[in-house]
Chains A and B, each alone.
Chain A
Amino acid sequence: MRVDLAIIGAGPAGIAAATEARAHGFSVLVLDENPGPGGRVWQAIETRPLHGDDDRVALETVRAFRASGAEARFGATVWCVEPEGRVYWSEGGRARSADAAWVLIATGTTERPLPIPGWTLPGVLTVGAAQIALKTAGLVPSGDVWLAGQGPLLLLYAAQALAAGGRIAGVLDLTDGGSLRRALPHLPRALRAPSYLARGVAWRLALRRAGVPWIRASQLRAEGEGRLERIRFLADGTVQVRPASLLLLHDGVIPSVQITRALGCAHVWDEVQHCWKPLTDIWGRTSLERISVAGDGAGIGGARVAELSGRIAALDIAAALGRLSTAARDRAAAPLLAARERHLAVRPFLDALFSPLPIDPADETILCRCEEVTAGRVREAVSLGCLGANQVKAFTRAGMGACQGRMCGPVVAAVIAAARGVAPRDIEPYRLRFPTKPLTLGELAALHAQPTAVEPQSS
């Protein structure tokens, strides 16, 4: 199968890019692992109850995407992208491929790992996980459900869960309490996009009105025999224990860089958000010809910024493939770029208000969940001469599991950095290769046996 543009990810950025590209006459293939469009932030938008204007606007955007004629494949897990534009994915247990003149990666974010002692116990999940359960299965918290960490998603989820009739036993604020003070200097600029601030305040008030305890805490541990039974933390100078059936952790989100890393795109360290992101220009172009990135995967900006970036990238790709003159591209993109700037004005404030938690796990804390490698073992490897994440990986097996370092990469790097007394940006991260998602040997073998062509639906 050949297409002009292959888009990986059907969240706001991917959807907006697809619709825009179709308007310029491109053939477009969109691939997403989920059962339907929306990505994380608009998950299950076509099937769940709608709440408020944001949801309604999102659904309209998705409808426009559905009507655009882009070929959308769901339940499609991309496991390889070649720089020449071939994309491989698995769908229905079969490996397939398509050749694209350009590839747009819009795979969004992953949660920043927040390892605490006991975080691998059944009953400890991420806030994002609970939000997925709410949106796709109508599940709401009841009984002793605790939230812990920091970040806008934690507030948003709490408000959504309460609005859906859920009960939250309490929120543990794991920050040091100084974030508002540090954020205040950025407030004037943030007022260019006041809706973000209004939302955040509203979520916080909803929690207060519902009487959900908000406790500043540290040294959180999850405990139990075979599953989570209680949480233990330090607050007000004393060690406190609470029964808990579920603990939801959150420490912000970071760009998902599996595909861009495996491709060999250049990455830059974001000093504010303490994460790696692909090096991109204003159009979303990477260091590789014919590979662009749009949305939170290029740097955290939120859903509106993602949509705008998707459209901007599509316009640029249209110009790059000769469908649009550069002048026409610039004319069409100008209002989008300006709108994006306005929405990005709130970022310095939000980034300071919701800055990542310091990483200093106790030795006993598992860092690599897949291979059960503790922080102590990682520190030991450093003391034995391992300088970076790949050496530590070869020596301890950290990062060798199924998740390919999605859950542990940032924290292992931070622990190595601290042990060596260098900055995390100086630690060589895990070297990634395709396949970036598992597929069976049989599926891969079948690709060789007969080249699979994907029949395009009628455009």
Chain B
Amino acid sequence: MLTRPDPGSLTLLFEGRPIPAREGESVASALIAAGILAFRTTPVSGAPRGPFCMMGACFDCLAVVDGVGSVQTCLVQVRDGMRIERQQGARDIASETTG
């Protein structure tokens, strides 16, 4: 696991569950710090995936952030109150546009 002594003073909601976050870090880092390593399932086979490269090259860290799918969580900085959900299979664009 990857851990740290100072969890940070921001709060994100991961699938409804509050997790702490530090100013200036990426969403992926905050999730990893909370022990969350699987962020999505693939549209090809439904296999679970999570961050791999942490630099925006692998596209495995995709999640739904504040209602928008296919977000590369390693490239997005945390904001207090941000809502994150796992992306299950192909991005559900229809519900994003009607929701």
Q: Is A40 engaged at the interface, CB distance under 8 Å to the other chain?
A: yes
**A126–B47 touching, CB < 8 Å:** no
**B55–A246 touching, CB < 8 Å:** no
Given A136-B24, A136-B26, A141-B1, 20 more pairs with CB closer than 8 A: A47-B24, A110-B57, A111-B53, A122-B38, A123-B37, A124-B52, A128-B53, A132-B54, A133-B54, A136-B25, A137-B4, A137-B33, A139-B29, A140-B2, A142-B1, A143-B1, A145-B1, A371-B44, A403-B58, A407-B57
Q: Is A226 engaged at the interface, CB distance under 8 Å to the other chain?
A: yes
Q: Which residue of A lies closest to B75 (CB)?
A: A33
15 CB contacts below 8 A, A to B, read A35-B24, A120-B60, A122-B50, A124-B52, A125-B52, A129-B52, A129-B55, A132-B55, A133-B54, A137-B32, A139-B3, A141-B2, A227-B37, A227-B38, A372-B44
**B24–A40 touching, CB < 8 Å:** no
Number of A-B pairs, beta carbon distance below 8 Å: 115
> Which of A133, A227, A372, A407 touches B42 (beta carbons < 8 Å)?
A372
Interface residues of A in 113-132 (CB under 8 A from B): 120-126, 128-130, 132
Q: In the complex the two chains form, what is the Cα distance from A77 to B30 in whole Å?
A: 22
Closest 6 CB pairs of A and B: A137-B29, A129-B54, A122-B50, A402-B59, A139-B2, A122-B38
Interface size class of A (residues with CB under 8 A): 35 or more
Q: Is A406 engaged at the interface, CB distance under 8 Å to the other chain?
A: yes
Q: Is B48 engaged at the interface, CB distance under 8 Å to the other chain?
A: yes
Q: Is B49 engaged at the interface, CB distance under 8 Å to the other chain?
A: yes
> Which of A44, A120, A126, A227 touches B53 (beta carbons < 8 Å)?
A126
| Residues in A whose Cβ lies below 8 Å from that of B47 | 120, 372
Q: Is B79 engaged at the interface, CB distance under 8 Å to the other chain?
A: no
**A122–B37 touching, CB < 8 Å:** yes
| Residues in B whose Cβ lies below 8 Å from that of A121 | 48
| Residues in A whose Cβ lies below 8 Å from that of B53 | 110-111, 125-126, 128-129, 407
**A139–B4 touching, CB < 8 Å:** yes
| Residues in A whose Cβ lies below 8 Å from that of B29 | 133, 136-137, 139
**A245–B1 touching, CB < 8 Å:** yes
| Residues in A whose Cβ lies below 8 Å from that of B37 | 122-123, 227-228
**A129–B1 touching, CB < 8 Å:** no
- The residues of A with any CB-CB pair to B shorter than 8 Å are 33, 35, 40, 44, 47, 77, 110-111, 120-126, 128-130, 132-133, 136-143, 145, 226-228, 245-246, 369-372, 401-403, 406-407, 437-438
> Which of B1, B22, B45, B60 touches A137 (beta carbons < 8 Å)?
B22
Q: In the complex the two chains form, what is the Cα distance from A77 to B29 in whole Å?
A: 20
The answer to whether residues A226 and B48 also contact, given A129-B55, A139-B29, A402-B59 and a CB cut-off of 8 A, is: yes
**A40–B58 touching, CB < 8 Å:** no
- Cβ proximity bits B36-73 to A, threshold 8 Å, 1 near / 0 not: 01110010110111111111111110000000001000
Interface residues of chain A: helix, strand, loop or mixed (majority)? loop
Q: In the complex the two chains form, what is the Cα distance from A129 to B37 in whole Å?
A: 13
| Residues in A whose Cβ lies below 8 Å from that of B26 | 136-137
| Residues in A whose Cβ lies below 8 Å from that of B50 | 122-123, 227
**A406–B57 touching, CB < 8 Å:** yes
| Residues in A whose Cβ lies below 8 Å from that of B25 | 136-137
Q: In the complex the two chains form, what is the Cα distance from A120 to B61 in whole Å?
A: 11
| Residues in B whose Cβ lies below 8 Å from that of A35 | 24, 77
Q: Is B15 engaged at the interface, CB distance under 8 Å to the other chain?
A: no
- For residue A417, give the distance in angstroms from its CB to the closest CB of chain B: 23
- For residue B2, give the distance in angstroms from its CB to the closest CB of chain A: 4
| Residues in B whose Cβ lies below 8 Å from that of A125 | 51-54
- For residue B14, give the distance in angstroms from its CB to the closest CB of chain A: 14
Q: Which residue of B lies closest to A366 (CB)?
A: B47
**B57–A130 touching, CB < 8 Å:** no
- For residue A169, give the distance in angstroms from its CB to the closest CB of chain B: 11
| Residues in A whose Cβ lies below 8 Å from that of B38 | 122, 226-227
Q: Which of B4, B53, B58 has the most CB of A within 10 A?
A: B58
Q: In the complex the two chains form, what is the Cα distance from A371 to B43 in whole Å?
A: 9
Q: In the complex the two chains form, what is the Cα distance from A361 to B51 in whole Å?
A: 22
Q: In the complex the two chains form, what is the Cα distance from A190 to B47 in whole Å?
A: 46
| Residues in A whose Cβ lies below 8 Å from that of B24 | 35, 44, 47, 136
